[in-house]
Amino acid sequence: MTKNAKINVHHITRVEGHGNIVVNVTDGTVETCEWQVPEAPRFFEAMVRGRHYSEVARITSRICGICSVGHTLASLKASEAALGIAVSEQTDLLRRILKHAENFDSHVLHVYFLVAPDLLGVPSVFPLVPTHGDVVKRALRMKRLGHEWGSLIGGRTTHPTRAIVGGFASLPGGARNVREAEAALRELKDKLLAVVPDAVETYKTLLSLAGGIPPFTRPTEYVALVDDKEYGLYDGKIACLMPDGTQELVDVADYRSVTNEYVVDQSTAKFAKHKMASYMAGALARFNNSHAQLHPEAKKLAVGLGLTAPCFNPYMNSIAQFVEAVHSVYMSVGYIDTLLSKGLKDETPVAPTKFARGAGATEVPRGILFHEYAYDKDGLCTMGNCIIPTNQNHANIQQDFNALVPELIAADKSEKEMELNLEMLVRAYDPCISCSTHYLDVTFKR
């Protein structure tokens, strides 16, 4: 048994934003065990007040550089609910492709650049350039594809330009007419199919590294969107899955009954709880809720990597992300086929029919995201509320720490091993702390 340990990870690395891990074990007793979030608060909900509905998504997109597509889409959906706008089927399909692009893009970045170094025992991807050059190049190639895929639909992936309230400001690829836009979509489909060999190689790489994933399990509540049209990602109802398999469905409009945010001293980000002391959002929560709707090709890879529902190991979130990335490729190919068979139209964005209050949700790579706005008769925003997945995960990370640290002590782990296990746990959640306010650290006090 570990007698004493003092871990103080100030600004944990290889995560988006700033967080600290502070653990202090004396004579085998855990005196402190905290997940702290010191990120500089940014006050987006205050900043949208008084802004026109056409500007709001452009502002809230800036909450996060990695999930700016998701913030844009959640924002647009909330504004459209408030403004009484129903978008066209074409807009719905294009947004779904855009959402899949972000999911793929972010998951590739996370699995290869943030998680893989731990499994390979290196501090970052850079030492892998001379030793595993092919893998690094493959990762960069796939990352680039995610970027091109999203940019073709959204204009760009970091703060997309074309997705606006009511539809799209311009056609895919920035095309001047529908014929050119259809050609751009066909080209994208070819690029997507061409990534399959890289995905297969990624599968092999992960299979060879999967032994390094810690076997920790802690059943919790899993919250994610579920959609009768596809594996919950772009749209749907809020599903709250309990460890015993019971699932409660909640309308997005009632999201506050699920998130129940509260302020804690250890964090500039708010925490959240529903039925249990905490809940988990993200790829694993989506997988546990929607695994039956995975594309068959993605399902095969999940089985091969030992991911079966329900999975209670938070470290497996990274594996669920890879499975989703492959799912996103095949789903987007299918959506492109649908769009091409129906024929693209040069549509004008749908105009507001009312000015009221509305909420919208979508899944960003790291979990369910809610935006809510109210507008006055001039279309100016009077209130905004954004509940970010990482905020929803902070309490769950803390609960995991509470369960994991005693296990590590009992297993007689060294301070260094404990620190790595805790850092890897935080990274598995793929936290986006800029999102949640903007920060993450690990600290063990001695």
- The SS3 call for residue 84 is coil
Q: How far is the CB of 119 from another protein (least distance, A)?
A: 13
Please check whether residue 287 is in contact with residue 309, taking contact to mean a CB–CB distance below 8 angstroms: yes
DSSP string, 391-417: HHHHHHHHHHHHHHHHHHHHTT--HHH
Q: How far is the CB of 199 from another protein (least distance, A)?
A: 16
The CA distance from 359 to 354, in Å, is: 14
User: Of 268 and 288, which has the nearer Cβ to another protein?
Assistant: 268
User: Of 279 and 439, which has the nearer Cβ to another protein?
Assistant: 439
From the list 18, 23, 17, the residue with the least C-alpha distance to 443 is: 23
Please check whether residue 393 is in contact with residue 123, taking contact to mean a CB–CB distance below 8 angstroms: no
User: Of 19 and 314, which has the nearer Cβ to another protein?
Assistant: 19
Q: How far is the CB of 212 from another protein (least distance, A)?
A: 16
User: Of 45 and 415, which has the nearer Cβ to another protein?
Assistant: 45
Question: Please, which residues have CB within 8 angstroms of residue 78's CB and are 6 or more apart in sequence?
Answer: 358, 359, 360, 370, 371, 372, 373
The CA distance from 315 to 48, in Å, is: 36
Question: Please, which residues have CB within 8 angstroms of residue 316's CB and are 6 or more apart in sequence?
Answer: 213, 284, 307, 428
The CA distance from 384 to 53, in Å, is: 11
Phi, psi of 210 (to 5 degrees): -60, -25
Please check whether residue 432 is in contact with residue 102, taking contact to mean a CB–CB distance below 8 angstroms: no
Q: How far is the CB of 353 from another protein (least distance, A)?
A: 20
- The SS3 call for residue 140 is helix
- The SS3 call for residue 132 is coil
Residues that bind another protein (CB under 8 A): 11, 13-18, 38, 40-47, 49-52, 55, 58-59, 62-66, 68, 109, 113-114, 117, 123-126, 129, 133, 136-137, 140-141, 143-145, 147, 155-159, 161-162, 164, 169-170, 174, 263, 265, 267-268, 378, 380, 434-435, 438
Q: How far is the CB of 161 from another protein (least distance, A)?
A: 4
Please check whether residue 339 is in contact with residue 153, taking contact to mean a CB–CB distance below 8 angstroms: no
Q: How far is the CB of 40 from another protein (least distance, A)?
A: 4
User: Of 244 and 265, which has the nearer Cβ to another protein?
Assistant: 265
User: Of 161 and 402, which has the nearer Cβ to another protein?
Assistant: 161
User: Of 60 and 289, which has the nearer Cβ to another protein?
Assistant: 60
User: Of 122 and 340, which has the nearer Cβ to another protein?
Assistant: 122
| Cα–Cα separations (whole angstroms), residue 325 to 44, 70, 104, 145 | 30, 15, 4, 12
Q: How far is the CB of 386 from another protein (least distance, A)?
A: 10
Q: How far is the CB of 263 from another protein (least distance, A)?
A: 4
Q: How far is the CB of 89 from another protein (least distance, A)?
A: 20
User: Of 32 and 158, which has the nearer Cβ to another protein?
Assistant: 158
Question: Please, which residues have CB within 8 angstroms of residue 301's CB and are 6 or more apart in sequence?
Answer: 203, 322, 323, 326
